[in-house]
Structure 1
Amino acid sequence: MSRAVSSLFLLAALLFFFALGNHQLQGSTEARVAGIAMEMHVDNDWVTPRLFGEPFLEKPPLSLWLDAGAIRAFGGTPWAVRLASAFAGLFSVMVLYGMLRRFGRPKAVAWSAGFMLATMASYWSNTRGVGEDGLLTLGVTMALLGFFQGLRHSTVGTSLLFVAGITIATLSKGVLGLAMPGVVIFSFLLAESLMDKRLKVGDWLRPGLLTLAGLIPLLIWLVVLYQRGGAHAVTEVLLTNSVGRFSGSFVEAGHYEPFYYYLIKLPQAFLPWNILVYLGLWHFRKSLMANRYLLFFTVWILAQFLMLTLASSKRTVYLMSLAPAAAVIAAEYARVLYEKLQAHEGASSLIGRIARHRHALIGGLLVVVVGCYLISAQWLLPHADRKLSFVPLVEQIQALQANGQNVALFQADERVGGASVFYTQRVIKGLDTGAQLHAFLTASPTNVAVIAGESEPVAPLKVLKVMMVGRQPYYFVGE
């Protein structure tokens, strides 16, 4: 293993795994996904994901399988259910470095791209959390890099990389996992055909046939799911939750934003390397026809950005799959700036002094960037537990249960439902209607229901205790 590979691997591992488990579940995604994984582990049902006892078929279960497996191997801790995302982040960085070297790029450029990917703020934070977006990014990265290398020099290895990427992406996000690499491949091949003024049928057929192979694991799961839940379950995964999110017909998904949502988010999308990404795209714009390598990564960014903009459901985390391409553009433009700076090494001006000390300045910048992330992981995220952790709420529920009282959750949202399952390792009784709530509370004077709401419940309900998780109040009520 070369010095460049080992240093990048160690730095990325430090960034993704340092203090990974020193804070509790935070936010709706972590609570929901961790709860589903815990329920899968407890019920030993690896086919139908469930949240709070009900089928939860928004996405295929690859991340849940990995999280539930980690729970079984290491216990039900936040650290365990974050492992899959952290490993996905690490593998994405190393695959990007390795394939850039295969493309003939210098070690410095490949290393810089890997480092920039690992230190993009949104990418770093999401790969250290519970969820499937890190796996989606890994799958998309593998598929697209394997596709581009296959155009240049097709081998069994590049084919396997592409197939594995499609498998990971589709088993993580379903139809979206197919669309994210697919829109880039289609756009790039179309651009090449127009520039070359000829259609290379083989270039179009090869990714199509390999995609069919990559879809086999997803199809196997869908067949088993069909045997368990019928056509409705399969339709919910493929149409309601995938196509429905894009068209806006899946109302429950939420996250509906105006078409310009991602334009507003661009200033923070690839921090702290945003300027390098955007100036790089502008700088390389005239060389794209002659440089298919730069064209490919530019198309990667623009095609996925356009597709996500057209979708009705929008979240900043969806931009994660653009991050590897953005890191490459940033690294290539950083090389241009470095060479310009190097040319002024002999000057007596301020730029000349900066040029002569460029290695020390670059080293200092890397230390500061890594240090900021480590400080955030060690102190800032645990500090956020004071407001965002579900542990005090769940501990209060457990204290009541230990006192012999029955506790139920009324119209539990995904956050508290998932967190309660994860921390108690069982499904707490749920109530859906006002009639069920009244019947439960009147059945025994010691029964307590937990209600999430913006306003305090009114009589005949009696508020026994109020607890806050973030800005959401939870009311413990009796009658």
Structure 2
Amino acid sequence: MQGWLRSPALWTAALATVLALAFLGSRGLWEPDEGRYTNVALNMLDSGDWLSPRRNDEVGHWTKPPLTYWAIAASVAVFGPVEWAARLPAALSYLMCVWLCWRIAARLAPGTRAAAPVVYATMLFPFGASQLITTDYLLAAWTTLAMWAFVEARFAPSPHPRRWIALMWAALALAFITKGPAGLFPLPVVLLFDFLLPGRRAHRVLQWFGMLLFALLALPWYVAVFHGNPGLFEYFVGDELVNRMTTGEFGRHAEWYGWIEIYVPTLILGTLPWTPTLWRWARGLPALVRPWWKDPQRRQRDAHWLLLVLWLLLPLLVFCFARSRMPLYVLPLFVPMAVIVALQWTREDRHLPPWPRLLAWAVLLLAMKLAAAWWPTHKNADAWAEAITARAPGPIHEVVFVEDMARYGLHLALGAEIEKISLDALQQPRFNPPYDEPLAVELAEHEAGVVWICKQADWKTVRERIQAYGYRAIPLGEPFERRVMFRVEPRRQRGEDAPGAR
């Protein structure tokens, strides 16, 4: 029993669990991403339609495949409509990556298996991302699972490598229904690795049974929604894939220097406190790689290094050339970086820092998480919910944003439907239009329990437009975050002004 209590694996698991789950629900949802993903998941849960992602009853939300929404909706269904339940899938994905770090390191270099999961668990960026509701941590978990399965197939003395290849394709399928083609980035890595190592192709990656398993798991949802929504296939390929990769349409740092602006700080600061070790590895990388070009035997001897270098650098090169760049895109690459740190220590004959230092860093990470709950920001859905509840005269069934950013996190905080409307009827794209409907249509619905919100600078225009349609806008208390909250009711007689509207 005492030997078990001294096990590094036990203490690593305990450390990672505390880092993942402590204070998970200590802050409200932050807009826009956390609110948007949670809102779509809640709409699935409320409607019972788990096939079509929707931002409300009228409009679909087709920017991502459904697996993240399914995970959030399932968690909320089990644990209730609370913030920590919505974040739980990301936190569990972080823990899964910690465990996979241990498994991968144990196979590639057994002497590093204790260090690699500790490094990953305490890296600043993976820890911080585990507290955010996005698609990226589920993607990181599935792609890492695929790479672990490949490592087992190629490096383990297993009599059944085909089973591991099947697991790899199953994991790629889950990644594909999490974030589409972005989930397939491990495939060129493993194909190039097999090409560079002679004799490694006895059990090929491109096996018919693996690709069939991928098709059975990944494609049914796509087939169903493409069939029910003509034109959706062209939208996915044209807008969500080609335009994101080749244009600056989405405004995500498409400038030539965008990769420097986004990925360099993410990799330097995000790998703290292990950045110096990675820097030493990067400095020695040319000397490591140079002999591989002409010496197949050297590649064979350094196979574990070759795989890690390809796993890190090949996707990173693609991310740098793509015109859509965000910090979370490189999250799946922190697993190979953690294993690289552990292998670099072995090469330098170093060891993990003492546990008191690691625990001090962990306490600092937890303090940062707790501080985020008290950080004043207009993106906090809980603050908006409190302001609306304090001003609303009765039950709130819907919140309507008039030509303003919709705060979709209010769906979880208030249990209300969220809509974003335009003042005029506009020509909008069929899929993912900027607005749900025009003002005239929303007014004609005559719904009860609606709180309206517009920018304070637009209040006069919005009020006059509402009056022109035969209604009056009545402010609810003082403006909040430079927004006016108001309710709308039919005018009792022509020409009557809303009291207090001036």
| TM-score normalised over the length of structure 2 | 0.79
Tell me how many residue pairs correspond in the alignment. 440
After TM superposition, list the pairs within 5 Å mapping 1:46-65 onto structure 2.
Answer: 46-53=50-57, 54-65=59-70
Cα separation, 2, equivalents of 1:211 and 1:259: 36
Quick one: which of 237, 241, 262 aligns to 2:259?
Answer: 262
Cα separation, 2, equivalents of 1:248 and 1:201: 41
User: Does the 8 A contact of 1:441 with 1:447 survive in 2?
Assistant: no
After superposition, the CA RMSD in angstroms is: 3.1
Cα separation, 2, equivalents of 1:430 and 1:388: 16
**Which stretch has the larger CA shift, 124-133 or 277-286?**
277-286
2:315 maps to 1:304: yes
User: Does the 8 A contact of 1:259 with 1:309 survive in 2?
Assistant: no
Distance 1:101 1:38, change over 3 A: same
C-alpha displacement at 1:433, in angstroms? 2.6
2:258 maps to 1:280: no
Deviations 1:380-404 (A, max 9, x none): 1211256541223233334555447
2:346 maps to 1:335: yes
2:173 aligns with 167
After TM superposition, list the pairs within 5 Å mapping 1:35-54 onto structure 2.
Answer: 35-53=39-57, 54=59
**Which stretch has the larger CA shift, 285-294 or 32-41?**
285-294
Cα separation, 2, equivalents of 1:204 and 1:149: 13
User: Does the 8 A contact of 1:255 with 1:313 survive in 2?
Assistant: yes
2:127 aligns with 124
After TM superposition, list the pairs within 5 Å mapping 1:132-171 onto structure 2.
Answer: 132-153=135-156, 155-171=161-177
2:480 maps to 1:467: yes
Identity of aligned residues (%): 20
**Which stretch has the larger CA shift, 6-15 or 276-285?**
276-285
User: Does the 8 A contact of 1:167 with 1:215 survive in 2?
Assistant: yes
SS where residue 130 of structure 1 aligns? Answer: coil
SS where residue 203 of structure 1 aligns? Answer: coil
Cα separation, 2, equivalents of 1:230 and 1:438: 27
Cα separation, 2, equivalents of 1:127 and 1:403: 37
2:108 aligns with 103
User: Does the 8 A contact of 1:85 with 1:130 survive in 2?
Assistant: yes
User: Does the 8 A contact of 1:116 with 1:273 survive in 2?
Assistant: yes
Cα separation, 2, equivalents of 1:337 and 1:25: 43
C-alpha displacement at 1:117, in angstroms? 1.2
Quick one: which of 422, 433, 451 aligns to 2:412?
Answer: 422
Deviations 1:102-125 (A, max 9, x none): 33421xx22221111112212111
User: Does the 8 A contact of 1:281 with 1:329 survive in 2?
Assistant: no
C-alpha displacement at 1:440, in angstroms? 6.5
2:78 aligns with 73
Deviations 1:136-177 (A, max 9, x none): 001111112222332234525523431332122112101111
One-letter amino acid of the structure 1 residue matched with residue 284 of structure 2: H
Give ranges in structure 2 of 5+ residues lacking alignment. Answer: 293-297, 426-437, 464-472, 488-500
One-letter amino acid of the structure 2 residue matched with residue 173 of structure 1: K
Distance 1:204 1:22, change over 3 A: closer
One-letter amino acid of the structure 1 residue matched with residue 177 of structure 2: L
Cα separation, 2, equivalents of 1:130 and 1:398: 25
1:210 aligns with 210
Give ranges in structure 1 of 5+ residues lacking alignment. Answer: 340-357
Cα separation, 2, equivalents of 1:113 and 1:413: 42
After TM superposition, list the pairs within 5 Å mapping 1:398-477 onto structure 2.
Answer: 398-403=389-394, 408-413=400-405, 416=407, 418-428=408-418, 430-434=420-424, 436-437=438-439, 449-452=452-455, 455=457, 457-459=459-461, 461=463, 465-468=478-481, 473-476=482-485
C-alpha displacement at 1:439, in angstroms? 8.2
C-alpha displacement at 1:82, in angstroms? 0.7
C-alpha displacement at 1:202, in angstroms? 4.8
Cα separation, 2, equivalents of 1:221 and 1:169: 13
Distance 1:270 1:448, change over 3 A: same
SS where residue 172 of structure 1 aligns? Answer: helix
User: Does the 8 A contact of 1:269 with 1:319 survive in 2?
Assistant: no
Distance 1:90 1:199, change over 3 A: closer
Cα separation, 2, equivalents of 1:40 and 1:438: 27
SS where residue 231 of structure 2 aligns? Answer: helix
Cα separation, 1, equivalents of 2:400 and 2:393: 14
Quick one: which of 72, 77, 83 aligns to 2:88?
Answer: 83
**Which stretch has the larger CA shift, 364-373 or 62-71?**
364-373
Cα separation, 1, equivalents of 2:255 and 2:277: 27
User: Does the 8 A contact of 2:120 with 2:335 survive in 1?
Assistant: yes
User: Does the 8 A contact of 1:440 with 1:447 survive in 2?
Assistant: no
| TM-score normalised over the length of structure 1 | 0.82
**Which stretch has the larger CA shift, 215-224 or 21-30?**
215-224
The structure richer in helix per residue is 1
User: Does the 8 A contact of 2:170 with 2:214 survive in 1?
Assistant: yes
C-alpha displacement at 1:245, in angstroms? 1.4
C-alpha displacement at 1:232, in angstroms? 2.2
Cα separation, 1, equivalents of 2:254 and 2:303: 34
Quick one: which of 18, 24, 27 aligns to 1:23?
Answer: 27
User: Does the 8 A contact of 1:269 with 1:316 survive in 2?
Assistant: no
Cα separation, 2, equivalents of 1:32 and 1:12: 27
Distance 1:334 1:104, change over 3 A: closer
